[in-house]
Amino acid sequence: MATNSRFSVESGESGDSVRQSADAPVRRRCELLVISLGVCMAANYTGIGWTNKQELRYVMQNLPGYGTAGKGIEYMLKSMTGYGKGGATTLQGNFTVEIRSVNHRYGEVSVRMPRSLMALENDIKRLVSTQLKRGKIDVFVQWEEAAAASAISQVDLAVARGYYEAFSRLADELQLSKDLPLSLILSQKGVIKDSSGAIDEAEFQPLLFSAVQSAVAALDAMRMREGEALEIDLLARRKQVAEWTDQLSARSPQVVTEYRQKLKARLEQLLEGSELDEARLAQEIALMADRSDITEELVRLASHFNQFDEALRLSEPVGRKLDFLMQEMNREVNTVGSKSNDAELTTLVVRIKAEMEKMREQVQNVV
C-alpha cells in the first residue's frame, strides 16, 4: 500500500480504490485547485500531496454532479494523437520504426517501408491495428545496414565469364587484341552484386516486429498521457455544465410564476378596475407553462450525464460512445433553448452550449 500525507491507495479484489483521509478544508482546496488551475496544473500539482492520477481522479469523482463517487479507477482515457519510436539492432544493421497517429473516425493504418520488406506490410498492419483501435496511424520503417556488412560485395563468376567470352568473340570478329583488362569486366552490370539493401525477410521478421512493438508501446504511453489531460479537462467542464443545468432547473418554475404576476398586473391595468376572469388567467398561465416546460429535457439530460460519467469509468475505448452522448446532450439543450422565453434561461443555455462544444472537440480526440 502506497501512502502520502493526505491520501492512501489500497488494492483489493475489486481493483484499485482511493480512500480519503483528508479533512474538509484540505479537500475543498483540492476541489478549487482542480477547477481553477485546470489541466496544466492539476495533473502535476504536488503542493497538496497529489502523487498519482488516482488521487486526482478521486477528488474529481467526489465533486458535486460527478456521478457516483468511489467507483473503480481502472482505465484512463486515451487520446488518438501520439508518436512513438522503436528500434532493434543486429550485426547486419538496425531497424528504426516510427509511428504517429492523429484523429480519425475509424482505424486506418498505413505503412511505408523498404521494397524488400513489402511482403510483411499486412503483418505489420495487423500487429498495429490489434493494439491501436482508432485513429489515422502512419508507420515508417527504416533499415540501416551496418558499415561492415554494406562493404561486402560478391562477384558473380558466371556473369563475368559470360562477359569475357562475349568480349573475346567480338575481338576475334573485329581482329582486335584479346588483351581484356579486368576493370572492363568488373564494370559491367551484374558482375558485382552489392549486398547493400538486401534483406532476408525470414531472418529479420522477428527483429522488425520487435521494433514495431516498441514503437507501439511508446505511442500508447503518449496516448495515455494525453488522455489523462483530456479526462481532467472533460471532468472540469462536465462539472460546470452540471452546475448550469441545476440553475436551469431552479429557474424554470420561477419563470412561470413571474409570467403570471406580470400578465395579471398588465390585465388589471388594461381592465381599469373591471373584474378579472381568474379562470381565463389560469388557463393562459397553464398553456404558457406547458409550452415552456423543460422537465423532460432536464430528465433526459441528467440521464445522459450519468451515462457520460459511467463511460469514463469503462475499461474499453469509449470515444464513439462519448461522441454520441455529446450529440444527444446538445440536442436536449437546443430543445430547452427553443422553449425558453426568459433572458436568464437563454443566457444559461448559451453558456451550456458553448461549454458542450468545447467538450465535444475534446471527445473527438478520444480513442
Q: Residue 29's pLDDT is what?
A: 37
pLDDT tier at 47, thresholds 50, 70, 90: very low
Percent of the residues in the chain that have a pLDDT greater than 90, as a whole number: 34
What's the CA gap between 360 and 358, in Å, rounded?
A: 5
Provide the pLDDT confidence category of residue 213 given band limits of 50, 70 and 90: very high
Report pLDDT for 69.
34
Question: Using CA atoms, how far apart are residues 86 and 99, in angstroms rounded to an integer?
Answer: 9
Quote the pLDDT of residue 290: 62
Higher pLDDT, 25 or 301: 301
DSSP sequence for 299-344:
HHHHHHHHHHHHHHT-SS--HHHHHHHHHHHHHHHHHHHHH--SHH
To the question of pTM greater than 0.85 for the whole model, the response is no
b/e code 163-199 from CB counts within 10 Å (16+ = b): bbeebeeeeeeeeeeeeeeeeebeeeeebeeeeeeeb
- Kindly give, in sequence order, each residue whose CB lies less than 8 Å from that of residue 5, ignoring residues fewer than 6 positions away: 49
Q: Name the more confident of 244 and 341.
A: 244
Contact 90, 54 (CB under 8 A): no
Sign of the alpha-carbon dihedral angle for 68, 70, 73, 76: positive
Tell me: pLDDT of 8 over 70.
no
Mean pLDDT is lowest, of 125-134, 137-146, 249-258, for 249-258
Which of 46-50, 201-205, 264-268, 309-313 has the least mean pLDDT? 46-50
CA torsion sign, 230 to 233 to 235 to 237?
negative
User: What are 141-162's pLDDT values in tens digits?
Assistant: 998 877 655 555 677 888 888 8
